[in-house]
Amino acid sequence: MSLCLVTGGAGFIGSHIVRRLLEKGRRVRVLDDLSTGKRANLAEVADRIEFVEGDICDVPTVERCTQGVEVVFHLAARGSVPRSVAEPRPTNDINITGTLNLLIAAHAAGARRFVYSASSSAYGDTPVMPKTVDLRPLPMSPYAVSKLASELYCTVWRQVYGLQTISLRYFNVFGPRQDPQGAYAAVIPAFVSRMLRAQRPTIYGDGEQSRDFCFIENVVTANMLAAEAPETHGEVLNVACGERITLNAIVADINKLLGTDLQPEYQPARAGDVKHSLADIAETQRVLGYAAKVMFPEGLRRSIDWYKANL
């Protein structure tokens, strides 16, 4: 039974990937420094995994964690565009140097595949819609630069060292266990958590900005397909639904599902935020056989049900 390493496995996306790997009968090792991840996210599977509390910037830890691993799912990162604008250096250190550490160690340890969680932020605010992977990147924040740089490292590691890599550019992932707390919370959990408490949601900008929101189940499926593909060559692929919705429309949908009528509070737009985002997923379908199975309305309903039960 093959061993998989999931960096950031105590986080939102990582904890879902851990569960899917266990369902598939894989052995799982998690590396997480718990800076944003939570042991609670893995509580019911804790006795079925190997958990290492450690930092991807610590080379000996990374070298130890990649030993015997067949597939690395690299999700550990310092997230958030606004936080990267405020604190660019740690974003660079963790997201770029940390990824480099893992690539070096994975290759040295003889890993077969390296699946990197990339970001649609690489596209920036280019007006072309939908976003295809051959578009020139136009990153608008230190976070976007760091995720793009790591993509390039992954492609080079395939070309130069032969490690099979693949980068998955996520578009606005949401779903159960996504943290609604803190200044850098993602938009859907932030909206839902406030509206469940009868508080008005906060929108930065006019609310007409649009995103291709992708339910977590689709992202996990894409990761499994990327790990199981016959061979990978440093590809960069979009992971999304190929549909977009405005933030104002999301608030309206949440109001409908909750039976409320809470109007947004509008704040000035934030530096580094893009106006519109929509993915072309044709290449992901061609290379991996990927198709989004849970579209936005169903994903939003499932997410609200989870927050009702767990907040």
Q: Under a CB-based contact definition with an 8 Å cutoff, are residues 180 and 192 in contact?
A: yes
DSSP E strands, the chain: 3-7, 27-32, 50-53, 71-74, 113-119, 164-170, 173-174, 202-204, 210-211, 214-215, 235-239, 245-246, 265-267
Domain ranges of the chain: 3-173+216-241+278-293
Q: Under a CB-based contact definition with an 8 Å cutoff, are residues 145 and 94 in contact?
A: no
Q: Mean pLDDT over all residues of the chain?
A: 95
pLDDT of residue 184: 57
Digit-coded pLDDT (tens) for 78-119: 988 889 999 999 999 999 999 999 999 999 999 999 999 999
Tokens of 229: 């593909």
- Helix, strand counts (H, E) of the chain: 11, 13
Digit-coded pLDDT (tens) for 3-38: 999 999 999 999 999 999 999 999 999 999 999 999
- Asked if residue 1 has pLDDT above 80, the reply is no
Q: Under a CB-based contact definition with an 8 Å cutoff, are residues 128 and 135 in contact?
A: yes
Q: What is the pTM of this model?
A: 0.95
pLDDT band at 185 (very low <50, low <70, confident <90, very high): low
Quick one: fold of 3-173+216-241+278-293?
Answer: Rossmann fold (3.40.50)
* CA–CA dist 119, 126 (Å, integer): 15
Closest alpha carbon to 19 in 49, 39, 63, 40: 49
CA angle 109, 3, 232 (to 5 degrees): 70
- Asked if residue 268 has pLDDT above 80, the reply is yes
Positive or negative: CA dihedral 38, 40, 44, 47? positive
